[in-house]
Every structure is written in C-alpha cells, then in structure tokens.
Structure 1
Amino acid sequence: MKKKMLALVMTAAMVFSMAACGEKKDSGKEATSGTVETGEQAESNGMKVGIAMPTQSSERWINDGNNMKKLLESKGYEVTLQYAEDDPQAQVSQIENMITQQVDALVIAAVDGDSLASVCGQAKANDIPIISYDRLIMNTDAISYYATFDNKGVGVKIGEYIKEKKDLDAAKAAGESYTIEFFMGSPDDNNAKFLYNGIMEVLQPYLDDGTLVCKTGRTSFDDTCILRWSQETAQQWCENYLSAQYADEKLDIACSAFDGFSYGIKAALTSAGYTAEDWPLVTGQDAELMAVKNIVAGTQTMSIYKDTRLLAEKAGTMVDAVLQDKEPEINDTEQYDNGKLVVPTYMCEPQPVDKDNYKELLIDGEYYTEEQINEK
C-alpha cells in the first residue's frame, strides 16, 4: 500500500505541536445531509476512513454505522459516515467523493451489490482498500475483505425454528399440514439468496411432501424476493394473499426474512381480523427494537439476533489491520464468490431470539435495556 509519508509526518508534527500548546481539537463535525457524525475522536493518526451505509430507514444500519465510526475514531482515524437512503446512484456518488477526499480505506455496505464495480475499480486505482460490509459487492476484484454474518446460517436457523415450533415431523407422521407464505429479501442483495437457500434447505422436503402448503404457489426466490427490503411491499403482498387465498382458511406461518417485512405482515393480519387465538407464526431478522417489542406482545414469533456491535468491531479491526499492513482475522475463504474472486471473509454467528430467550440474549447481553423493550 502506498503511503504518503511526508503528509503523515507533517500531520503528526502539527498534532504534537497542538498538544504541546494545550490546544483541544473539537472532534465533532456538523452533520450534513446523508451524513452522521458521532462519538469521541482520539488524537488523529492522519488517516481517513470512509464508511458508506445503505439507509437510515432501518435501525440496524444506523447502529452499524455509529458503532464502527466510534471504534475507528477511538483508534485515531478521521471517519466520514454517509447513508445513501437506498439510492444506488447516490451511494456511487458518495463513494466517488470519498475517493476524491483521499480516504485511506473504505467500508461499504452496498445498496445494490451489482452497481458498485466501476467505483470500486476507481478506489483500487487509487490504492484504497475496500472492506465489503454485510452485503457482498459483486463482480469486482477490488474487494480486500468481507465482514458479514453467516447468511445461509440465518436462513437455516429460521427454517429450523419453524420445523421445531410446528413439529413438522410429527405433522408429517399424522398426515397433517400447515399453510405457509414466504417473504424473502431483495434480489440485488447477495445475502438474500444465501438466506433463502438456507430456509429451503430445511423446509423444501416438507413442501414436497405436503406437510407445508403454500396456497399462492410462490416458493421460488424470484417469486418471493422483495426489492430493497420494502415493508410496504410485504404488507401489500400479505393483504393480497389473505384476501385471495386465505378467506376460508387461516395462514399458519409467515416466513419473513426481515423484521421490516414482519411489521407489514402484522398490519395486514390485523386488518384481516386475526387475533391472538389464530395468529400465525411470524419470523424475522435483525432483532430490531420494535421487533422485540412485538415478540413480547405476541405479534411476531421470533427474529434473528445479529449483534451489530460485533460485526462493526470485526470490520473496524479489519480496516485497522489493513492500514497497518497486517493480516486481519478471517474464518471463511470458500463461500463468498463475487464473480471475480472468492473474498476472504469473517463471518459472525447469528442467534434466534424469541419470547423465551430475549432477556438472556438482549437484556443480559446489554444490547437493549428492559426499559427500552417495555417502553410504549
């Protein structure tokens, strides 16, 4: 990696001079549109990191961005954190600006994993390493590392939860069946396909033998994926399903890949007159605060807890290692092929959370407080 040694030496000299004079530098910056600036910044090491996040409409991305920014600033990096509000071209423009600002590294959670190859090539041409964050950037060899959760594992855990809670093996033996509908992730997010494959690895045999019945017939990824993870689309789909296919028979399982979908599904079920007595099993992902409140209230059955503090820490340490010319910790070198290379990856482990274990995982684990969960 090329280092601008003269600039670093001059910066270090300036910092030393300011410290010697007892001058305190304000670490915060005024937030601009699409930019979040938080946390306390340690003495600058003269290096800059750009973080490009997809949207502030989901609680988890706000937490991811803020956690990573705080960690990197504690190590002395100057950090620019921006959100593209699910606009692929806006994210490209933000990354281009970061390259122009001569950041030393980039962390990118893609809005559209297929739209960033060109701008990532620009970063590579400027010797800027890229950490792909949670959503794999496709069709470019400019990616240094990838930090994510075990995305197929998320799907497997959702499928296994449904299998166990509905005791599908016992239902099969008794000749019984459950109705199910699927609400899968965005087609431009590579993770969504891994998750779908994990779910179907568990549930496809029960669809094949009739233990699970999907009355809409929509079981393929193409038929169940929801662009940009839209809550509104999930609600509209569920409303349509309930009115067209479930007027005379109740829906037993709503297999949702995202908490946001589950909020839309909840609204559709409520409008259709479902009550606690016939409420279906509703899955989710991300363990957002609202989802946990719904789990406690009984309108969502489970979610997948992905500790974004851990993922942000892993990505932050990856950046630090790369900029210090060290090898970061990885635990997968086979699974994540982006079409140009198999990206060295660190995968964090997701965990199912429901009414039985949310206190242990989320409150005892200090992810949320009991007051937050119980707040109306």
Structure 2
Amino acid sequence: MNGWRGRTAVVVTALSLAVGVAACDRTDGSGSDDGGFAIGLLLPANGTSRFGYFDKPLIEKKVKELCGDCAVEYANAGGDAAIQRQQMGSMMTKGIKVVILGAVDPMALRSSVEDMKEAGIPVVAYDRLAEGPISGYVTFDGAQVGRVQAEALLKGMGDKADGGRIVMMNGAVTDPNARWFKGGALSVLEDKVKIAQTYDTEGWREENAHTNMSGAIAALGVDGIDGVYAANDRIASGVIAALKAADVTPLPPVTGQDADLAAVQRILTGDQYMTVYKPFKPEADAAAAMAVALGRGEDIGGLARTTVDSATAKDIPAVLLTPVSVTVGNIKDTLVKDGMYTLDEICSPEYRTACDKAGLTE
C-alpha cells in the first residue's frame, strides 16, 4: 500500500507489558532515573483537538513516570506544516535529545527529520509516519481502521450493502495514513458495492468535505447515495452538513474516526452511523516509552515488535495498535468505560432524549 507494510501484529497487552518492563528497568519506586533530558513534543493541532485534549497530557504523564527528571518541550502547529517546520528548527536549538512528532504533513516534514538525524536527534513519529529517517513509529493499524469502517458501513446499509452506491470521502492526499485507511476500506468494499464517487479531502478539513459532498450529491442525486465512507469525524461532519443542506432524507449511513465528542453525539441522534475509537493511552504510552529509551541510547526492539516502510525509509521499528468500532449500541462499554468521556459530557441537555433512547442514562 504505497510502501506501507506492517509485518507482524502487536496487541495492547504486549505493549503494556513492554512499557511496564521498561519502567521497572530504569526507575525506582519514586519514578526517578539515572539522568534526565529534554524531549520535544510536536503535535499537529491545538488544545481543542484530540491531540491537545488527550494525547499531550497522556504523553507528558508517561514521560514523567518513566523519567522523573526529563522535561517535555511542547508545541502545536495549529494544522500548519510551515509552522511545524519552524518548530522543528527551534527544538534543535533548545538542546532537545529526542522528538515525538505528530506531523501535519508527513511529506513536508521530511527535510526537518533529516536535519534532526544529522544533529543526532532521534524522531519518534506519532500517529502519522513522517518521511525521512524516522527512529520509531507509533500508530493504530491503518488497514484495520479502514476495514472496521467498511464493515460497519456495510452493516449500516442493510439490504443495500450488496450492490449499493457509496461515496468515498478519503483523507488528505498528502497523508500516508489516508492511503492506508482507504486501502483497508477498499479491501472490504470493492467486491460489495459500487463506488460512485471518490474524493480526497484537502487538509482533512470539514469545509472541504462539505464542498466535495455537495458535488457528489449534484452528480448522483439526493436519492443516489446509499452510504458514505468518511475517513474521520471532521470529514463526517462536513458530509452530514452537506447532506442535510440538500434535504437528503433519510440520511445514509456515514462512517467516521477518532471518536470526537460531537461525532459521538451525532451517532446518538442517528446522523452518523459509527466512529473508530483509538484508545489514546496505549498510543501515548508507547511513544513516551520509545522517546525515553531512545534518549538514553537504548534499543527499542522490546517495545516495537513490528516494522513498517515509508516512501523514504525501510524497516522502521513500529507499534501498531488495534482500533475499535463504536456505534450507538456500545458507547457505554467503550468510550464511557475507558473514561474518555463521562455520561454528563455526552448527554448534555440537547442530547438527553437521545441518550435515554440509547439506554445510556438508565
């Protein structure tokens, strides 16, 4: 899939064991260690995104557990690759020993990753695999994400799953994860449905998804769409807004990804069929453990038990985690049980009736 190959499966339990062993090997009961250093944390979006709200505090917490004297230097790019390149350069002047990078644009960050390598600073790619000499990679198995989305879409389409017409609203063409998700989805969908229209969503932006979906509706008609593969929840939001603006009723099933709170609430009201929940803690824990180990000059083979290839590098040590499909029937047993959201957060007054109907407030 465009140079991406996961060679073995890694389960969360194995990851948890490996992270725990690393912590025991290098820290005492107080969490102190044999020398601290600075870890750069560069994330693609601001504090209102999943990266700021979940990933950042989880990574910081795990770093502190593994290396009590380590410091985390954080910056977010606000979705701007040019800003992130500047932040990468700034990190190099601050004496950073290792960087965790959630790339805005994996291709655009290649030269910055190369500069880091030349300066002797390992880079751990987080959630998206940046091009260049990456030292480690943590993400969820993208092919499995796409398969989970596609399988749910077919289920939501019911008797139209055999031969029905769908629109594919993929992610940004510059993001290799988008190709990964698409490939996984197509492996399920190609022999089952007719893909009537397909789009790449520039920047994963909601407004671009809205524009593309409006074009699909104009081409296919309000009754010509039986399902929509939307690569993530932001895209799903734009898709659903366009469907509603065109008075498409009933709404076809629409997929998503990331378990955004707004998406969970759309699932409750029936506007969105599903989302993909990627438990952020094991992803954050793995990245923190890799960064601490690399900062100490240690081998990460005990943490990264698989490898992937990018367009520019082969055999990158990687952790590929398992995604979870969320529909209206398992919100409580997944997102609420794991503490991602409370019932009060999900079931705000506007959604109280929908929560009652779904059995969340019983």
Q: Quick check: 1:213 aligned with 2:201?
A: no
Aligned amino acid, residue 133 of structure 1: Y
**Displacement of 1:213:** 3.2
Q: Quick check: 1:156 aligned with 2:130?
A: no
Q: Quick check: 1:117 aligned with 2:91?
A: no
**What CA deviation, in whole Å up to 9, does each residue of 1:241-293 have, x standing for no partner?**
2234214x242201100100111112112212234xx1210100001111111
How far, CA to CA, are the matches of 2:164 and 2:343 in structure 1? 34
Structure 1: give runs of 5+ residues left out of the alignment.
1-41, 207-211
How far, CA to CA, are the matches of 1:272 and 1:157 in structure 2? 28
With 312-321 and 52-61 compared, the bigger mean Cα shift is at 52-61
SS in 2 for 1:322: helix
The aligned counterpart of 1:321 is: 293
How far, CA to CA, are the matches of 2:122 and 2:233 in structure 1? 32
Aligned-pair identity (%): 28
How far, CA to CA, are the matches of 2:110 and 2:247 in structure 1? 47
Aligned amino acid, residue 182 of structure 2: Y
How far, CA to CA, are the matches of 1:242 and 1:164 in structure 2? 22
How far, CA to CA, are the matches of 1:189 and 1:58 in structure 2? 21
* Higher Cα radius of gyration: 1
With normalisation by structure 2, the TM-score equals 0.81
Summarize the alignment of residues 171-186 of structure 1 with structure 2, pairs less than 5 Å apart: 172=162, 177-186=163-172
Q: Quick check: 1:198 aligned with 2:184?
A: yes
How far, CA to CA, are the matches of 1:337 and 1:263 in structure 2? 30
**Displacement of 1:356:** 0.8
Asked if the contact 1:137–1:338 (Cα under 8 Å) also holds between the matched residues in 2, the reply is no
**Matched pairs, number:** 313
The aligned counterpart of 2:206 is: 231
How far, CA to CA, are the matches of 1:69 and 1:171 in structure 2? 44
**What CA deviation, in whole Å up to 9, does each residue of 1:287-344 have, x standing for no partner?**
11111111111111000001112211110011122223333311312x3334222211
The aligned counterpart of 1:89 is: 82
Asked if the contact 1:131–1:315 (Cα under 8 Å) also holds between the matched residues in 2, the reply is yes
How far, CA to CA, are the matches of 2:156 and 2:252 in structure 1? 12
Asked if the contact 2:210–2:238 (Cα under 8 Å) also holds between the matched residues in 1, the reply is yes
The aligned counterpart of 2:97 is: 104
The aligned counterpart of 1:330 is: 304
RMSD of aligned Cα (Å) = 2.0
- Choose which of 257, 274, 284 in structure 1 pairs with 2:256: 284
**Displacement of 1:367:** 1.3
SS in 1 for 2:100: strand
Aligned amino acid, residue 80 of structure 1: E
Structure 2: give runs of 5+ residues left out of the alignment.
1-30, 351-362
- Choose which of 184, 187, 190 in structure 1 pairs with 2:173: 187
**What CA deviation, in whole Å up to 9, does each residue of 1:29-50 have, x standing for no partner?**
xxxxxxxxxxxxx879541011
Asked if the contact 1:88–1:115 (Cα under 8 Å) also holds between the matched residues in 2, the reply is yes
Higher RCO (C-alpha under 8 Å, 6+ residues apart): 2
**Displacement of 1:71:** 2.2
Summarize the alignment of residues 1-376 of structure 1 with structure 2, pairs less than 5 Å apart: 45-56=35-46, 59-62=49-52, 63-74=54-65, 75-76=67-68, 77-138=70-131, 140-141=132-133, 143-167=134-158, 172=162, 177-206=163-192, 212-215=193-196, 218-219=197-198, 224-247=199-222, 249-275=223-249, 278-328=250-300, 329-333=303-307, 335-375=308-348, 376=350
How far, CA to CA, are the matches of 1:134 and 1:171 in structure 2? 31
Asked if the contact 1:147–1:345 (Cα under 8 Å) also holds between the matched residues in 2, the reply is yes
How far, CA to CA, are the matches of 1:265 and 1:121 in structure 2? 37
**What CA deviation, in whole Å up to 9, does each residue of 1:93-150 have, x standing for no partner?**
1011001111011010111111222222221222111101111111x22x11101110
With normalisation by structure 1, the TM-score equals 0.78
Aligned amino acid, residue 368 of structure 1: Y
SS in 2 for 1:90: helix
The aligned counterpart of 1:33 is: none
SS in 2 for 1:330: coil
How far, CA to CA, are the matches of 1:84 and 1:43 in structure 2? 31
**Displacement of 1:167:** 4.8
SS in 2 for 1:137: coil
**Displacement of 1:56:** 1.8
SS in 1 for 2:316: coil
**Displacement of 1:171:** 5.7
How far, CA to CA, are the matches of 2:141 and 2:194 in structure 1? 28
SS in 2 for 1:238: helix
With 279-288 and 60-69 compared, the bigger mean Cα shift is at 60-69
The aligned counterpart of 2:7 is: none
How far, CA to CA, are the matches of 1:312 and 1:161 in structure 2? 26
SS in 1 for 2:180: helix
